[in-house]
Chains A and B, each alone.
Chain A
């Protein structure tokens, strides 16, 4: 099936099988390997991308369902000049150890902070309930989210 998908501003038409998962389309056909496959059972969130502005697990969606959609992956988050505030905060707060879950964490937190710019730590933890970190580095991930929220509200430390 022919699908037309815009990823990080680049639109392409590709021929996919209906059973091709969106994550495989992104990684293998579009060459964007920043989106990770962790559990492959819709639980870990490493494959989270934004589809038409909504955080989704790309292992739980067929590429054909993304026909005519606009997708943002981790590669489209920073500009040439600057990291996104969420990325910057992960760097400053040591929000990653092995880094495997990080792309999904960043994509989910962008959604969480967009919907709630002034979250409590509990709000952040609820927000990333669908993202697992097997280094169990949640403390610093939450600290990163809180710092990113401050930055995005225009506050500085």
Chain B
């Protein structure tokens, strides 16, 4: 399969990239790792006048430890995230989730910024970034702005980015010490996308009562979401199997479940509760 003809631009600076995107007035797209965009172009689901490749811009692939956590460049690959000692120490759920994206070849090229901007409803990283309460620094609009993870994923393949905006940094708060974590997914056997994926972070006080719970669901509906009802139920309670089961059942609240060849809405609803139970169980066992 060969895409329709397009013009290719590989600017050296972010400013040039933004200017090029503006020139095409919505008919151009940013190319990061290309693990979603190239297949979409080959299937002619995306027919573009131009592609603006960020690969030649220096300084967009980095993982820095900051006072509060991590600053990650948008062109940082999933492999770089999964194999980073800093990420494993500061936000281990992100490294573990990145290691479950696609396959070796996809993780070698796919990027964190691309995954977020593409907003595939079955992508793995958005779940971890939602649970971590990550924020995204965005350039290219009238002014540089920051978008919170829970405002970023609007609908299937629709992020909060405006035309011409580019993510320049992903800020990930450090996981507080004592936080337990887990990412659980049922992967499509061919594409490795999540049929449903659940990211969970939990912390408890000295008496074992839950002080903080953050749970995010991907793959289930048109956009990844926080499972707020699950979180609210858990806070103040002991993380017993019974309480975890009751909390997990609430993870389906408010989700408009997708149905497709990979699973009916009923199946995804069942998976959401079941995988939330497994994620909360593993996370509670890992509180250290």
Contacts and interface: CB of A to CB of B under 8 A. Distances in A.
B105 A55 contact: yes
A43 B192 CA distance: 9
B7 A18 contact: yes
Interface string A119-140: 0000000011111100000000
Contact of A17 (B5, B42, B103, B106): B5
B250 interface: no
Interface in A58-85: 59-62, 64-65, 67
Interface in B1-39: 1-8, 10, 31, 34-35, 38-39
B146 interface: no
Interface residues of A, number: 33
Contacts of A4: none
B39 A60 contact: yes
Contact of A130 (B4, B79, B105): B105
B53 interface: yes
Contact of B51 (A18, A45, A60, A115): A18
Contacts of B177: none
A29 interface: no
Interface in B191-212: 191-192
B5 A60 contact: no
A64 B79 CA distance: 23
Q: Give the one of A42, A43, A45, A111 with max B CB within 10 A.
A: A42
B4 A129 contact: no
A56 interface: yes
Contacts of A40: 1, 42
B34 A62 contact: yes
Nearest to A17: B5
B105 A43 contact: no
B164 interface: no
Contacts of A19: 2-6, 41
A41 B53 contact: no
B260 to A, nearest CB: 16
A65 B103 contact: no
A108 B34 contact: no
B121 interface: no
A99 B173 CA distance: 48
Contacts of A65: 31, 34, 53, 55
Contact of B8 (A62, A108, A111): A62
Nearest to A67: B10
B5 A57 contact: no
B38 A60 contact: yes
A112 B108 CA distance: 12
Contacts of B3: 19
B104 A61 contact: no
A1 B51 CA distance: 14
A55 B108 contact: yes
Q: Which residue, of A45, A65, A127, has the highest number of chain B Cβ atoms within 10 A?
A: A65
B219 interface: no
Given A62-B8, A62-B38, A56 B51 contact: no
Max chain B C-beta neighbours (<10 A), residue from A45, A56, A111, A127:
A56
Interface in B176-201: 190-192
Nearest to B1: A40
Contacts of A67: 10
A48 interface: yes
Given A42-B38, A65-B31, A130-B102, 9 more contacts: A18-B7, A19-B2, A41-B1, A41-B39, A54-B108, A57-B105, A64-B8, A65-B53, A127-B104
17 contacts: A1-B8, A17-B5, A18-B8, A21-B2, A41-B43, A42-B39, A43-B191, A54-B108, A54-B109, A55-B105, A55-B108, A57-B105, A57-B106, A60-B38, A60-B39, A61-B38, A65-B34
